[in-house]
Chain A
């Protein structure tokens, strides 16, 4: 079974609109961390936001927020007020358990923002 599933290969959004990128995960460990990274066409991986499994509130970082639904095992990324520069690949990743720093990545979602 896939540990991290991103079901949307591609998404389109109009500038200034909000968009949600889906991520579901699979783990039986009660302690885990969820990460989102952005990969623009230039290729670098940029950290966006983190959610710990024990965090009571949904994480927010500027225009990025994480819709964390623990029972559903989903950690969707919400980007508000999309900008042209948000066009990129977005990867969801999970650190599973407390005894590892290993990140398992999903296959990514390509977001395109149009004017």
Chain B
């Protein structure tokens, strides 16, 4: 079975440019999560969706970040304009069900470098 698929795997861009990260969750999963991993802040949740509806976006750093989930099989995380401090590994994860033993399965991540 295909796992969570993220693209691109690596992204290098210049400050001020728009960046779009993509995620395809595991088929049948109804929750999708976006995380960011940095050395300074560790792994932190940015936003998550349940049944395509954003549930908790309290981790989204600022208005430059936006996330959408137009359907059950696709989500995007957009940064506009990008800044060097946005350089990080961005993970997408998906899960089935709500609460309890709700295991999140992670994609391979997108390593973003903003120059």
Contact = CB atoms under 8 A, between A and B. Distances in A.
A101 B106 contact: no
A47 B104 contact: yes
Contact of A45 (B31, B91, B99, B100): B91
Interface of A: 33, 35, 37, 42-47, 50, 52, 91, 95, 98-108
6 contacts: A42-B108, A44-B109, A45-B43, A99-B99, A101-B33, A102-B45
B103 A47 contact: yes
Interface in B58-103: 89, 91, 93, 95, 98-103
A91 B91 CA distance: 15
Given A33-B100, A50-B101, A43 B108 contact: yes
Contact of B44 (A35, A47, A50, A105): A105
A101 B42 contact: no
